[in-house]
Every structure is written in structure tokens, then in C-alpha cells.
Amino acid sequence: MVTEISTERLAEVIGDGRYRIIDARRIDAYNGWCMKGEARGGHIRGAKSIPAAWSQQEDWPQIIRSKGITSVEHIVVYGYTDDEIQAVADRFSAEGYPEVGVYTGFVDEWCANSDLPMERLENYHKLVYPEWVEKLVSGKKPPGFSGDKFAICHCHYRNRADYDLGHIPGAVAVDTLELESPGTWNRRSPEELMKALTKMGITADTTVVVYGRFSFPRNEDPHPGSSAGHLGAFRCAVIMIYAGVKDVRILNGGIASWGERGYALSREENRLEPVDDFGVEAPARPEIFIDTPEARQVLASPGDNLISVRSWNEFVGKVSGYNYILKKGRIPGAVFGNCGSDAYHMENYRNMDLTTREYHEVEDMWRGIGITPDRFNAFYCGTGWRASEAFMNAYLMGWKNIAVYDGGWFEWSNDPGNPIEKGEPK
């Protein structure tokens, strides 16, 4: 049975453990973007994100379980439109939830009353959505953009065919090897970064939007970027921030989200005019990366975390994760950050539609293993890609004391003087 709930009643049950409030809007609105002219952006405090588009998925029971929602809870669904609210409410009812309520006053009543509690992702504006990008490439001013210089970067790893297959109109191709060194996969030197970025037409004052494709037929090269361009986009974002680009944004969901909104792709090659001056001396944000000596210091500090953003099989030493990394195991003292199934996936940091996972869920996952914002947290993986995506999750949440251990398992394991652990931690 589906019943309507009032603003007053909803305000009363916030914090009551017997109730689960469900936000049926897109994750972009949940994160903080005002997409219907509402007075405040974000979501009702404590709400879980379950977009209406997911209501037809066969794996709905798994989605609900992953969000910790049990059948004994009272469900209250809200959103922008009656259709999206009803779609999610009906699915809960069909799955046997006995008490499902709908709330239709979110925009006109809840958002308009500053006394009613809301939350949002602190740096939500760094995670943009397709309509935002479409306005930008169409010559309009999307929300929060006041500059006059921008670059849309289609990221890939030695795979220009990925760009030629189809890209966002106006986007330029960016090979990740322009920003990281082949052989080590570490960031390039400050001088090389400034040279590469100015050659692309990017300065410290350019608004840069990065994105990639989630899957593409894998070539001979075993590097994860050969099949996961959007993962490479996170890597490029972190390196650009390190160099000094002040406004780096990520298209949430990558090129897949662009297609889902019905926007066309282009095969026309685009290039920006090179510039002479980057505008600042790189690296403007040196604290974003640490190297092996600093990683050792993190391990020696009881209050800090060196976080392995790798799969469990990599962490316990069953596999190295890569064809070009021979040694298996983990850095002793590292915290397991649980990327997902293997070196090519980050499913524990993403929603089923490949958008960035609801940030409360990432926070909860981290809190359970001692990763909290009051500590210094340095993320690592095999060669920096997965670590960069985890770093960006913390960055979007507004965490300050964060870094990427750039060398990761590749660099650590290649030094015979570094200790290695295998097996389940004791």
C-alpha cells in the first residue's frame, strides 16, 4: 500500500531508525546540483539515493541489500516528479515492503524551508552532469561556470581509436602518457607537465572537464587504461590538480552518461591552440602526491593510513594484478581499500550506472576500516589509476589530508629492500 506523507510528518521521522527515506532523483541532484530551480541543492538528511531509472533493473534486490535496506522498514520516497516517485514506490511495494509512503513537497516545501535539514556532497560542483557539459560546448554558461576558457578532455591510454570511435563534440584527445611516464606510470616531472598542458592549450586558469569510456576492446598492452578510459580520466584529473589547474571537473558516469541523455557523439578531431605560459609554477599542489620515502613515513605514523585500493586477491598475494608486475602481496601495514573484483574494475566506488557511488556509502565503507577525515590518508594501487579515483572520492567530500602514493605496488615491489606481506592480515 502506497500512501502520501506530509512535510510535517516527514520532518518528525527523520532520524527514526524504522524509516528509510529514498531519493528517486538522479545522483547529480542528490549530490547537490539544483536541477529544478529549487532554493537549496542536495538531499534530505539521511536519504539514500535510488534513482527511478534503476526501478526496472532485474538486480533490484541486490541494489537494496547493498544499501542496507531491510523489508521491515517504513519506506518514504521523494523526488522531482510524480512519475519518478511512483516508479520507485511501486517497486518497493512489489517487492513486499508493507508500508511505502510518497512525499511530493520536496521542491516547493522542503527546499524552500531552511529550517528543514538537507545534506550535499561538499565539492559536488567538481562532478558535473551531461546537461552541464552540453551547455558548455554549446557556448552557454552552465551553473557555476564564470570563466571564458575551458577544455573537454577525452582521456585514453595509447588508444587514439577510442577517441575516433566517437567523443563529445569539441572534446580533445588526451593520452594519459602525456601526463605520466611510460615504464614507471608515475606523474611526469613538473617541467614536462607544464610543457604537455600548454601544448594542449591548458593553463592554470582553464576549466577542464575530463571523461573517458568505461570499456573498449583491449589492445595488446596490459595497462588498465587500455580498457578503462574513464578510470584514466580520474588519473588525469589528479595530475592536473597537482600541476596547478585550478578548476578540474569530472563528467559523472563518463561518456556513457552523455549517451544516456540522448546527446550525439562526434568524430571530428579537435585541438586547442597551444599557449606559451601555464600561469603558475608546477607543481602548485605538491602535497597531492607522495613517493616511497613519504609512504614509509605514513606507515610509521600510528594516526595515518596508507590505503591499498586493490582487489582482495591482490591484497593477500594471490595475484599481482598486472602482467608486468611479477611480485605478489601487499605493503605491510597497509589498509585494505577494496576497489572491487580486479585491477580493471572499481565497482565498490561506483553505482550500477557507472556514476560515482553515493558518497555516504563510501564514507561508511571507509569508516569501518579506520579511514576518516581527521587522519592523513594516502591511497595507492598498482600504478596510481585506482588510487586516483579513490582520492577523488575523498576530494569531492572535501577531505583535506589526502594524497596518492604515486609509485604504488609497482614501485614498492621493485625495490628488494622493501618488505612484502602475503595472506590474510592477522
The residues assigned a catalytic role are 381
Cα–Cα dist 363/376, whole Å: 15
Contact 33, 112 (CB under 8 A): no
Q: Indicate left, alpha or beta for 4 from its phi (over 0: left) and psi (-120 to 50: alpha).
A: beta
DSSP assigned state of 403: E
HEC secondary structure over 145-195: CCCCCEEEEEEECCCHHHHHCCECCCCEEEEHHHCECCCCCCECCHHHHHH
User: Is the Cβ–Cβ distance between 306 and 380 less than 8 Å?
Assistant: yes
Number of other CB atoms surrounding residue 323 within 10 Å: 10
The DSSP H or E segment spanning 405 is strand 402-405
CA proximity to 316, closest of 420, 237, 398:
420
Identify any residues that bridge with 151 across adjacent strands, giving them in sequence order: 208
C-alpha cell at 109: 516545501
Cis? peptide before 283, omega within 30° of 0: yes
Q: What is the bridge-based pairing of β-strands 2-4 and 48-49?
A: unpaired
